[in-house]
Chain A
Amino acid sequence: MTDDTHALAIGLRQRDPDLLDRLIEQYQQRLFRYLLFLTGNPSLAEDLFQETWIRVLERGRQYNGKSKFDSWLFAIARNLVIDASRRKKISSLEDLGDPESNTPYDPPDERTSSVLQMLVSRENEQSVQLSLLKIPPYYREVLLLRFSEELGLEEIAAVTATPISTVKSRLYRGLAAMKTVMTEGAA
């Protein structure tokens, strides 16, 4: 356990409000991006963003400092997304934990996509985010965790509560799906 994670674990156990303020500032971009691309719904992503930090406050004592804080944070956020998808169907996220179920994937509707585009910088508007939205969420999730958030395979396995072999297979399939979608988009 490093000094940083140890100090973080102690601060979370004590529910240190200043520490939580700093963490919210520090992780806002990464966490919101993760939630936004996982749900495909900006307003739901905002709600879940806030709910995630409430959970961090309430369950802070469960963070032991042995794992990276971001993995723990993303795992909390992911569980909330799954809970939300159980309450209300959002972009077939109920299948997030079971990509082998062969349930067809429903891409987000046009209205949601257009709201999403407003939140995504216009620089890559025609490529990345649209391509990401066109691939199934369980591939989208591992691609974001691996290449945007730069988590290791073991960390992704911990966040998604799946074996490393499954993470790898989703990464391979997700990359192939992204390549196909981006190539089609460019054509």
Chain B
Amino acid sequence: MNDNLHERAQHLLAESVVEGLRPADETWLREHLAGCSDCAQAAAATQNVLHALRTVPVNVPRDLAARTQLRVRLRAQESAAAAGGSFWLWAVTAASWLLGVFSAPLVWRGFAWLGANFGLPKVALEFGFVLWWTVPPLLAAAIILHQKALTAEWNNKN
């Protein structure tokens, strides 16, 4: 028998398990294997490998699923708590913003009164007015960023 025929048989054997064969190739391979003991042996070896891969058994550690379920539930609770926390943070921020907008004329009048009674220059009043609005949100942002950094560090450790 010609070497090319054996090579073709080997090629088709691999193709049959990876991609599947066209009916004509399948028939040709079956007939070839019936008359060639070397290629039939190679086919048996391939089937042996496939059988081994399909039946490779692994013993999962007994409590792995339970431990994982517990860890996932704990993480879900933490995330839910964090999401609840962020809702209130947004709510308070929105309320603070609205309060700020509506109270701005009163605050400005307060600064004007201070200027008139204590003889402060206009630039100091404007600077004080800007600080009045910017310091609290910057402080809040710094605290939130610090908390996030701590949470990320804790998550990495665990």
Q: How far is the CB of A109 from chain B (nearest CB, A)?
A: 20
Contact B76 A124 (CB under 8 A): no
Contact B65 A25 (CB under 8 A): yes
Q: Check A153 for interface membership: any CB of B closer than 8 A.
A: yes
| Chain B 37-63 interface mask (CB, 8 Å, partner A; 1/0) | 000000001101110111111111100
Contact A58 B79 (CB under 8 A): yes
CA distance A171 to B55 in the complex (A): 18
Main secondary structure, interface of B, reads helix
List CB contacts (< 8 Å) of A43-82 with chain B. Answer: 46, 49-50, 53-54, 56-58
Contact A128 B53 (CB under 8 A): yes
CA distance A146 to B50 in the complex (A): 10
Contact A50 B71 (CB under 8 A): yes
List CB contacts (< 8 Å) of A97-154 with chain B. Answer: 119-121, 123-124, 127-129, 131-132, 143-144, 146-148, 153
CA distance A182 to B18 in the complex (A): 19
| Chain A 152-187 interface mask (CB, 8 Å, partner B; 1/0) | 010000000000000010011001101100110000
CA distance A172 to B13 in the complex (A): 10
Tell me the count of chain A residues lying within 8 A, CB to CB, of chain B: 46
Collect the chain B residues with CB atoms within 8 Å of residue A131's CB.
Answer: 52
Contact B14 A17 (CB under 8 A): no
19 further A-B pairs in the complex, CB-CB below 8 A; given A58-B75, A178-B53: A17-B72, A17-B73, A29-B58, A29-B60, A32-B64, A33-B58, A49-B64, A50-B67, A50-B68, A53-B72, A119-B58, A124-B56, A127-B52, A128-B55, A143-B53, A147-B53, A153-B19, A175-B14, A178-B52
Give me the 8 closest cross-chain CB pairs, A-B, nearest first.
A121-B57, A147-B53, A128-B52, A33-B58, A171-B18, A28-B65, A128-B56, A32-B60
Collect the chain B residues with CB atoms within 8 Å of residue A56's CB.
Answer: 72
Contact A179 B45 (CB under 8 A): yes
Q: Check A13 for interface membership: any CB of B closer than 8 A.
A: no
Contact B49 A54 (CB under 8 A): no
- Chain B residue nearest to A167 (CB atoms) is B18
Q: Check A36 for interface membership: any CB of B closer than 8 A.
A: yes
Q: Check A7 for interface membership: any CB of B closer than 8 A.
A: no
User: Quick one: given A46-B64, A58-B79, A182-B45, are A124 and B52 in contact (CB under 8 Å)?
Assistant: yes
CA distance A143 to B55 in the complex (A): 12
CA distance A17 to B18 in the complex (A): 38
- Chain B residue nearest to A43 (CB atoms) is B61
Contact B60 A28 (CB under 8 A): yes
Contact A183 B14 (CB under 8 A): no
CA distance A132 to B56 in the complex (A): 10
